[in-house]
Structure 1
Amino acid sequence: MILINGQPENRIPVSDRGLQYGDGLFETLAFRNGELELLEQHIMRLQRGCKRINLSFQHVDSLRAELAMLCAQTAEDSVIKIILTRGSGGRGYKAPLENEAIRIISSHSMPEYPEANQSGVTVRLCEQRLGLNPTLAGLKHLNRLEQVLARSEWDDRTISEGLMLNINENLIEGTMSNLFIVKNQQLLTPALTQAGIAGIMRSKVMEIADSMSIACHEKALTVNDLLDADEVFLTNSIIKLWPVKTLLHNDTNTHWQHGALTQQIQNALKDLAH
């Protein structure tokens, strides 16, 4: 099911700036066990993103009602996607002086990842690099061509994710996930001040770590930091947490165990309605 500004519809004008320029934001939520997980955190990130890109978003209550309508007609666990665009504004990059976000929400089948949460996943390093843009860093904006190109680098179903570096060779994230390293019983995650998406699940893991008195640091990380890690895991709102068991790099394999700290965080993520 798809709703556009609350109405059943599956088309937008060709002139929509989301299509023309990637001028907008999106959120991906898990609908599990009859609940939208971490809804308030997703809405807050949308509002922060709208402020950053100067996109008017006044109809938050309407969005909540539309999400409730969509979920009421969704019987199974699903992926719910929210897209906000700046709407139509004529040809040219200059945004209209007055605009109100166009709301597009849709439901999709929940993907299955057999045993990934327990046995761990295999990842690779991508050749595609992320550019530096502190203005857009952290935002879940519609310009995802770097990730599209990175994900096109492999077609091996045994590889679940690709890790991306920026042009300065710092680790940033996966093509669809955030990265955590465990070293000496501490969590390390890449700083996202120049590139990358500040994921909702990433924030939740950091919150959980703080509540458990587990040190968690955001910092510049390199491939050598990754190779030297005790444990590695990935997060996003749909997968929650994937332990990484194998990294394919330069024709060699690096292996990690599904370690104790990873399992501790994983157990804390089981109930995520709020």
Structure 2
Amino acid sequence: MFWRDGNQVDHVSVTDRSFQYGDGCFTTILTKSGKMQLWGQHVKRMERALLRLKIAAVDWQQMKAELERVVSRKALAGIKIHVSRGEGGRGYSPCVNRGPLITLSQFDFPDSYTELRQVGLELTLCEVALGLNPLLAGLKHNNRLEQILAKEEVERSDRLDGVVLDINGNVIETTMANIFWIRDGVLHTPSLDMAGVEGVMREEVIRVANQDELPISIDSFKLNTLMSADEIFVSNCILGVAPVTKIQDAQFPIGSMTRRIQEKLGQ
């Protein structure tokens, strides 16, 4: 179900700039029995995106009240906050007749995710490569064409997800998650200064690692570094943390550090 301005809707205006240009941003939140998880972190993430995209600020206190009215009461579910710059504006001009416009939608927790957290998932390696764009890197903006093309490639494989590189051959993420790996006792994750999405759960993993004084390397890494890992896992806010057991034909064990991070995050 979808809501806008407190009303349930099933359509948006053809002049909505998110429809016309992907002009906006979004975030997806895990809910537990009607309670939004990591709310403060999601707000900070959206505020960063709105600031960089030069979209007017959102009243987050009012937004939270609206979310609490429509959120699912199921034990596990999800809700998405989608922000469009607004309606109107000729061509690329960011001047709008009204906005920003916020659409809320709820969805069921994927049945497979609980099992994936335990048994892990297998990844393919995507041929689609991400372009470099420091202006938009890190943001979960509404134009996800690269990820859609990568996901189309994954869906032609026998795997659930795939590793995505940038055009320089650096590991960036998967089509639906951030990626981490342990090698020689050091936690590695790609720098997202030029491409990729900075997930809220990625920040949580880094926070937990810092609390545990686990050495962290955030840098540019080629594929061979990932493939020589001792253990690998992925993260997003709905899935949480899930181990990776295979990339292409290479197999990886479910490691103790992955389990430790899962435990610290309440999984």
- Please give the range of the TM-score, normalised by the shorter of the 2 chains: over 0.9
> Are the equivalent residues in 2 in contact too, given 1:57–1:100 (CA < 8 A)?
no
Query: Per-residue displacement from partner, 1:39-76 (whole Å, max 9, x unpaired)?
Result: 110011111110001000232222111111012x5435
Instruction: State the shift of 1:268 in Å.
Output: 0.8
Q: 3-state DSSP class of the match of 1:115? A: helix
Unaligned segments of structure 1, at least 5 residues: none
2:76 counterpart residue number: 77
Partner of 1:94: 93
Equivalent residues in 2 for 1:82-231 (5 A)? 82-96=81-95, 100-113=99-112, 115-155=115-155, 158-231=158-231
1:91 CA drift (Å): 3.1
Q: Distance in 1 between matches of 2:63 and 2:210?
A: 31
- Given the two structures, how large is their TM-score scaled by the length of structure 2? 0.95
Give distance in 1, aligned partners of 2:68 and 2:34: 11
Output the amino acid matched with 2:22. Answer: G
| CA drift at 1:97 | 6.7
2:87 partner amino acid: S
User: Which residue number in structure 2 is paired with residue 258 of structure 1?
Assistant: 254
Residue equivalent to 1:58: 58
Structure 2: give runs of 5+ residues left out of the alignment: none
How many residues align? The count is: 266
1:156 shift after superposition: 6.0
Q: Is the 8 A contact 1:234 1:242 kept in 2?
A: yes
> Structure 1 199/94 Cα, relative in aligned 2: closer, same or farther at 3 Å?
same
| 1:138–1:198 CA contact under 8 A, matched in 2 | yes
Residue aligned with 2:257, SS: helix
Amino acid in the other structure paired with 2:225? D
Give the whole-Å Cα distance in 2 for the aligned partners of 1:69 and 1:156.
Answer: 39
Deviations 1:19-44, CA, capped at 9 Å, x for gaps: 00000000001112332110110011
